[in-house]
């Protein structure tokens, strides 16, 4: 028993939270370093530089989807529900992908000037792991402190993944409205920031 849950039930619960968080942290961590990792190519070939950030994230998205399929087959065997709500997962992946890529584009620009930024972001992501309801349900958090978790956008993304995978249900329209808004705003911010500083990238690498 873990947290008074059967081990099999907890495994499915944990899986439903790790899938979105791992994809987000990987897209952010690797996406923000994509320009530095492709420095020599950027200096030799004149192509849209955001391609390096996006292609890195697309590769991670594909890996995450295939890994999720494999893991979910195991999850089904140990008790995860198979319901029509699972068909919302492709949309959930795209929304999370857009949110992560938008931030990755902006941070990749900042990383060109501040080379230690990935280390700082890594520490922040480690803190977010514990401040996001991944290994515990939000109901375990005292009500007086839940407002802190409400400020964490990843809480919403965890919810839209956990409900169909673990509970066999869907998040409410209000949750999806917030998630869509976060994804759109992140992409707008990322694209705007990248285009504004695009011309200076080669000189700072």
- Among 141, 33, 160, 13, which Cα is nearest to 93's? 160
User: What region, left, alpha or beta, does residue 24 occupy, with left being phi > 0 and alpha being psi -120 to 50 degrees?
Assistant: alpha
The Cβ-side half-sphere exposure at 91, using a 13 Å CA radius, reads 12
Average pLDDT over the chain, rounded to whole? 90
pLDDT tens track for 134-153 = 998 888 888 888 888 888 99
Q: What is the pLDDT of residue 66?
A: 92
pLDDT tens track for 14-48 = 889 999 999 999 999 999 999 999 888 888 888 88
pLDDT tens track for 74-123 = 878 877 778 899 999 999 999 999 999 999 999 999 999 899 999 999 99
């Amino acid at each position: 028993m873990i947290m008074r849950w059967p081990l099999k039930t907890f495994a499915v619960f944990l899986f439903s939270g790790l899938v979105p968080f791992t994809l987000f942290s990987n897209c952010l961590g690797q996406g923000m370093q994509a320009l530095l990792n492709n420095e020599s190519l950027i200096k030799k070939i004149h192509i849209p530089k955001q391609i390096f950030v996006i292609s890195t994230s697309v590769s991670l998205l594909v890996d995450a989807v295939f890994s999720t399929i494999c893991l979910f087959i195991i999850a089904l065997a140990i008790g995860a529900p198979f319901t029509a709500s699972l068909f919302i997962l492709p949309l959930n992946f795209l929304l999370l992908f857009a949110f992560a890529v938008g931030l990755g584009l902006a941070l990749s620009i900042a990383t060109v000037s501040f080379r230690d930024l990935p280390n700082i972001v890594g520490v922040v992501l480690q803190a977010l792991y514990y401040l996001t309801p991944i290994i515990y349900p939000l109901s375990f958090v005292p009500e007086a402190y839940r407002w802190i978790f409400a400020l964490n956008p990843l809480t919403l993304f965890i919810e839209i993944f956990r409900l169909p995978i673990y509970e066999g249900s869907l998040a409410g329209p209000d949750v999806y409205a917030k998630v869509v808004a976060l994804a759109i705003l992140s992409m707008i911010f990322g694209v705007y920031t990248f285009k504004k500083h695009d011309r200076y990238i080669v000189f700072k690498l």
